[in-house]
Every structure is written in structure tokens, then in C-alpha cells.
């Protein structure tokens, strides 16, 4: 196992990695921007180094400063968390060139499966179903030609990214002409790469993702699935597991995910995402080559610490479990608490948290980096906490989550807690009739 690692991220994921490392006896170095000087990961780390200004481009995306911080503090490895450099093959490669282990997939894994257009081609090679889609689009003229061949509705996606950035649903040719340049510019700003591709748009699907782990030597296991269908602007806001899918369909989707990961000798944690239509047909969407925001759902229903497993695999110790040892117990729901005002179109609500009280009791977990007196900077993602509820059944997990949210107090900023309570009280949600258009169609 490593003696010391650097955590190249911020917020709750930096704290999550710090805690996992500490339990394994691994010392931690946390890098931070000027805006995060008083954040909890910085205060709790064994060492902390400021690497730049509040702007992510000068700090959390500053490869030179991050590598220098790792080398000067004697780190052996870097954990990228999620977002920022987590799916950057060049960064993973530079880590290796400087004698540092990248706690994640090999650069070749990231490059081949992290690029969405390339991932589609690999899925086809592995016999995994995909929606009809284009190659990377050179320009608007190429997009028009593809749209004429396949027909509408279609969805534009950024080849290099995720999280809904650079993604646009288009319903007609005039709509495509309006959306194409906007999607390009958003992709360029978010990922430094304006390249787009296009797929047939599946209306009213479920968004199902399979949690995977590979040892890099061809052995891949799955840890079942999460239903991430409740989304706003392609950003997940509530996740749960297991899904309510038919067991036979669940097994076929998991087998397809494992087959794809085995096809590239995948190493570390990864997630295959699928769209499942009302007829039970499923289609590969993308593969995320990192730990997911919603990984606690899987941890709660399987009892496996995914972040510690990342460290073990990266250190060369292989997987600590076999497929036959992975079992699901109970049901878990995660909600993302954002500093946003749901009554005003989810307007960001940065500012100082004057008081905070987290829920407790059986089956409740809180992952958060904030505390009373902490000032939420306006420079980054607005998520301030994840609350996860586990119970023996889905109905009990819903009741437990409602209780937990009503116990939670966050004063000084607006949060999305009232919105989540409305979701949990929604009759369609309670009976599992949840699709990716749930918020638009079922929530006023």
C-alpha cells in the first residue's frame, strides 16, 4: 500500500478520499485554491499546499503545480477524485512519467473509452447495444447530413466530456442549426475540446448505470446498478439502488458492461451508463473512467468501500473480492444537496453558512465538506452535501430519507432540500415510474 498520496480535488470528494486513505494508514496531501483555504479537507489533511487562484484553470486544472506539489511532498500517487483532471488521459500519462501512480484507469483506458465516440466503437466491437449515432462531426454540414439520414429527435453530445455539458436535444433541422454552435462553445469551455457527435434520442428512458471494478489484467466484476433517472438539465439530482428492473434484464445489462470493460483490460473503478426504454431494450450511452458522485449508493447496498478499493488496485494488490462475493442488501437513496434556490430556477446561492445540523440515526450517511461558518465560494459546483439513506426496502428508504431531510438544517444559503422533499412525496416516484424527463413532466 502507498505511504502517502496527493488528493487533486476539492470539496466532499477530497474529504471522502482523505478518510478512506487514513483508515488504510496512508498519509494525505491536499492541494487547494485560494478560495478553499478554509475548507474541511484542507484543515484535516496531513499536509496542504495552495496551488493557485480561485479559478480552476489556475489551480485544480494546473497540472504543473499539482505534479510539483506531489513531488516536493514525497507522494507516491495522485487521486484525482471526480471532475477536473479525473478523466484526463494526458494528466494520467504525466503522472506516470514523473514516477507517480495515477489512482484510476491507465491512460490508454481513459483515452479509448473516455472519448464518447471511441467508446461507442468499442461497445460495438464488444457486442454491446448502442443507439444509432454519428462519428465525430466536423462541422454543421456534417451534422445536417447525419440528421437527414437518421431523423429526429437527436441529441448532440461533447466527445470529451460528461455531466450534461455540451449536450442538446434537437427536434428539427432549424433547431439543430441553433443548437450546434452553442453546444460546441459549451464543450470548448468545459473540456477544452469543441468536438461533438450525435445520437438518436431515446424518449422517456430510464438511466441505469453499472458500477464496475477491474484489476487491469482482464478480471472485471460488477457491483450491480444504480438508477439515476431523476435529472435536471442532464445533471443527476437523486440516485438509488438497486433499480426496479426485471432481474433478467438487470443481469443482461451488467453482463454487457463487464464485457465492455474486459474488452479493454480495464483497471480501477468505472461506470457504464445505459438508457433503457419502455420495451426493455437497453443501449450503451457512455463509460465514466472515475469514481462517481453517487458511489455511496453502491457502498451502502454492497458494504464495499469503493475508494479504498481504488487505492488497493492502484497499489498493485488486485481486487479484494470476487463476483460471487458481491451481494445486494436493502435499498439506498442518495440526494445531492446544492446551494441553489429551487423557487427561482435553481439560481446559485453562494455565501456563508451561518449554522448547520446534519441528520443522524439508523441507515443515514452524510458526505459533506461544509461546517458552520464555512463560506461557499461561487467558483465551483454548487453541491454542499450528499445525504444517503439505507433501509431494508425501498419504501422504508424513502421514509428514512424524508425524516433525514426534515432534520437537516443549513442556514445562510438557499438549498435544494425543499425540492427533494417534493420528489420523495411524488406519487410517480413512490411507485417507481421514473424516467429521465421526470422533473419536466411530473414536477411543476
- Residues marked active site are found at 290
CA distances for 29 relative to 45, 85, 111, 342, 440, angstroms: 6, 17, 27, 36, 42
Q: Quick count: other Cβ atoms within 10 Å of Cβ 344?
A: 9
* Helical H segments across 219-269, by residue range: 247-263
- Rounded to the nearest 10 degrees, what angle do helices 63-72 and 89-97 cross at? 30
Q: Which helix (H) or strand (E) holds 437?
A: none
| Cα–Cα distance measured from residue 223 to residue 358, given in angstroms and rounded to the nearest whole number | 28
342: which residues sit within 8 A by CB, 6+ positions away? Answer: 414, 416, 418, 419
**Distance from chain centroid for Cα 372:** 27
Residue 355: Cβ-neighbour burial (10 angstroms; 0-12, 13-18, 19+): exposed
Residue from 136, 132, 147, 146 nearest 195 by CA: 136
3-state SS, residue 82: coil
Our CA dihedral for 357, 363, 369, 371, rounded to 10 degrees, sits at 10
Amino acid at each position: 500500500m502507498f505511504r502517502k498520496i496527493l488528493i487533486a480535488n476539492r470539496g466532499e470528494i477530497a474529504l471522502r478520499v482523505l478518510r478512506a486513505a487514513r483508515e488504510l494508514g496512508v498519509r494525505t496531501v491536499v492541494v487547494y485554491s485560494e478560495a478553499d483555504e478554509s475548507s474541511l479537507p484542507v484543515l484535516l489533511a496531513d499536509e496542504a499546499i495552495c496551488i493557485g487562484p480561485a479559478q480552476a484553470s489556475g489551480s485544480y486544472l494546473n497540472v504543473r503545480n499539482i505534479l510539483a506539489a506531489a513531488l516536493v511532498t514525497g507522494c507516491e500517487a495522485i487521486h484525482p477524485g471526480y471532475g477536473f483532471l479525473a478523466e484526463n488521459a494526458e494528466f494520467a500519462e504525466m503522472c506516470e512519467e514523473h514516477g507517480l501512480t495515477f489512482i484510476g484507469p491507465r491512460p490508454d483506458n481513459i483515452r479509448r473509452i473516455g472519448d464518447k465516440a471511441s467508446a461507442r466503437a468499442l461497445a460495438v466491437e464488444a457486442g454491446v447495444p448502442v443507439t444509432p449515432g454519428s462519428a465525430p462531426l466536423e462541422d454543421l454540414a456534417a451534422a445536417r447530413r447525419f440528421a437527414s439520414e437518421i431523423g429526429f429527435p437527436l441529441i448532440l453530445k461533447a466527445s470529451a466530456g460528461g455531466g450534461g455539458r455540451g449536450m442538446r436535444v434537437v427536434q428539427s433541422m432549424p433547431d439543430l442549426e441553433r443548437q450546434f454552435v452553442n453546444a460546441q462553445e459549451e464543450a470548448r469551455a468545459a473540456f477544452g475540446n469543441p468536438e461533438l457527435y450525435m445520437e438518436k434520442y431515446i424518449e422517456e428512458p430510464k438511466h441505469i448505470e453499472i458500477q464496475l471494478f477491474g484489476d487491469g489484467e482482464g478480471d472485471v466484476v460488477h457491483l450491480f446498478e444504480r438508477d439515476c433517472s431523476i435529472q435536471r438539465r442532464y445533471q443527476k439530482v437523486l440516485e438509488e439502488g438497486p433499480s426496479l428492473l426485471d432481474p433478467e434484464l438487470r443481469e443482461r445489462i451488467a453482463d454487457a458492461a463487464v464485457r465492455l470493460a474486459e474488452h479493454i483490460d480495464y483497471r480501477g473503478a468505472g461506470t457504464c451508463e445505459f438508457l433503457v426504454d419502455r420495451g426493455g431494450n437497453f443501449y450503451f450511452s457512455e463509460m465514466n473512467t472515475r469514481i462517481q458522485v453517487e458511489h455511496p449508493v453502491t457502498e451502502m447496498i454492497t458494504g464495499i468501500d469503493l475508494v479504498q478499493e481504488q487505492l488497493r488496485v492502484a497499489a498493485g494488490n488486485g481486487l479484494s473480492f470476487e463476483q460471487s462475493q458481491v451481494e445486494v442488501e436493502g435499498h439506498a437513496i442518495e440526494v445531492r444537496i446544492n446551494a441553489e434556490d429551487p423557487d427561482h430556477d435553481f439560481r446559485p446561492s453562494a455565501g456563508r453558512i451561518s449554522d448547520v445540523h446534519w441528520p443522524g440515526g439508523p441507515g443515514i450517511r452524510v458526505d459533506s465538506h461544509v461546517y458552520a461558518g464555512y463560506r461557499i465560494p461561487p467558483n465551483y459546483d454548487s453541491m454542499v452535501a450528499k445525504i444517503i439513506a439505507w433501509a431494508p426496502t425501498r419504501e422504508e428508504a424513502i421514509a428514512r430519507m424524508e425524516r433525514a431531510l426534515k432534520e437537516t438544517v443549513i442556514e445562510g444559503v438557499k438549498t435544494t432540500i425543499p425540492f427533494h422533499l417534493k420528489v420523495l412525496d411524488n406519487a410517480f416516484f413512490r411507485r417507481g415510474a421514473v424516467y429521465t424527463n421526470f422533473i419536466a413532466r411530473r414536477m411543476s
